[in-house]
Amino acid sequence: MTEFPLTGKRIWVAGHRGMAGAAIARRLASEQCEVLTATRAELDLLSQAQVAAWMGDSKIDAVFLAAATVGGILANSTRPVDFLYQNLVIETNVIHAAWQTGVKKLLFLGSSCIYPRMAEQPMREEALLTGPLEPTNEWYAIAKIAGIKLCQAYRRQYGCDFISAMPTNLYGPGDRYDAAAGHVVAALIMKIHTAKASDSRTVELWGSGRPKREFLFTEDLADACVFVMKNYSGEQFLNVGTGVDMTILELANSIASVIGWKGTFTFNTSKPDGTPRKVMDVGRLGALGWSATTGFEAGLKQAYDWYLANVL
Element at 297 (helix H, strand E): helix 296-310
Q: Are 189 and 307 in contact (CB under 8 A)?
A: yes
Is the Cβ of residue 64 or residue 140 nearer to ligand GFB in the bound state? 140
Is the Cβ of residue 112 or residue 155 nearer to ligand GFB in the bound state? 112
Per DSSP (E only), the strands in the chain are 10-14, 34-36, 62-65, 105-109, 161-167, 169-171, 202-206, 212-213, 215-217, 238-240, 246-247, 264-268, 277-278
Q: Are 159 and 223 in contact (CB under 8 A)?
A: no
Three-state DSSP string of 207-266: CCCCCEECEEEHHHHHHHHHHHHHHCCCCCCEEECCCCCEEHHHHHHHHHHHHCCCCEEE
Is the Cβ of residue 233 or residue 266 nearer to ligand GFB in the bound state? 266
From CA 235, how far away is CA 149, in angstroms rounded?
9
Rg (CA), the chain: 19
Element at 42 (helix H, strand E): none
| Least distance CB 69 / ligand GFB (angstroms) | 9
Is the Cβ of residue 76 or residue 93 nearer to ligand GFB in the bound state? 76
| Catalytic sites, residue numbers | 140
Give the residue nearest to ligand GFB (CB): 72
From CA 184, how far away is CA 240, in angstroms rounded?
19
| Least distance CB 4 / ligand GFB (angstroms) | 27
| Least distance CB 156 / ligand GFB (angstroms) | 26
| Least distance CB 203 / ligand GFB (angstroms) | 9
| Least distance CB 177 / ligand GFB (angstroms) | 11
C-alpha torsion angle, residues 254, 257, 261, 262 (rounded to 10): 90
Task: For the chain, give the number of residues.
Answer: 312
Q: Are 179 and 190 in contact (CB under 8 A)?
A: yes
Is the Cβ of residue 50 or residue 135 nearer to ligand GFB in the bound state? 135
Is the Cβ of residue 142 or residue 248 nearer to ligand GFB in the bound state? 248
| Least distance CB 169 / ligand GFB (angstroms) | 4
Q: Are 242 and 170 in contact (CB under 8 A)?
A: no
Helix/strand/coil for 29: coil
Positions touching ligand GFB (CB under 6 A) are 72-73, 76, 111-113, 137, 140, 169, 182-184, 187-188, 205-207, 211, 213, 248, 271-275
| CB neighbour list of residue 162: distance below 8 Å, 6 or more residues apart | 95, 98, 105, 106, 107, 108, 150, 151, 152, 154, 155
Helix/strand/coil for 159: coil
Is the Cβ of residue 99 or residue 177 nearer to ligand GFB in the bound state? 177
